[in-house]
Amino acid sequence: MPSSLPEPSESDIQRTIVQWSKMVPGLRLWRNRSAEAGRSGKGADRSRTGSPDLEGWYTTNGVAVYVGIEVKAKKGKVSDAQVRWGELITTAGGIYVLARDLQDVIDVFA
């Protein structure tokens, strides 16, 4: 009987989402390096604590809208700061996605 495959890491999921986004007209995403700095504690900008792992924009009808994607592994927990960022983004008219896999993002942009 074959063993099950390991769950993808958050980094693997991020990489997959960024690669997929390159095929979607109007969607431009990149990794948010300040989010990484906040996790390491090195050079952390505390005002960005909880900011999404992936950032970018989605252009439709000539208007670019901010996109924030928080990536979590299957069992990953969303922090209070990450929830607040999601609320700030959507309140300001942006697009916020909590993605546990690529399909969560496809459901929003495809």
Q: Could you read off the pLDDT of 74-106 as tens digits, one per residue? A: 999 999 999 999 999 999 999 999 999 999 999
Tell me, what CATH number does 59's domain have?
A: 3.40.1350.10
Please count the structural domains in the chain: 1
d(Cα 27, Cα 55) in Å, to the nearest integer? 10
pTM assigned to the model: 0.86
Cα angle 68, 72, 77; round to 5: 110
Residue 68 structural domain: 10-109
**Mean pLDDT over each residue of the chain, to the nearest integer:** 90
Which is more confident, 26 or 39? Answer: 26
Q: What are phi and psi of 77, to 5 degrees?
A: -105, 140
Tell me, what's the pLDDT at 45?
Answer: 56
d(Cα 25, Cα 91) in Å, to the nearest integer? 25
H or E element: which one contains 22? none
User: Given a cut of 80, is residue 69 above it in pLDDT?
Assistant: yes
Which is more confident, 62 or 34? Answer: 62
Q: Would you say residue 2 lies in a domain?
A: no
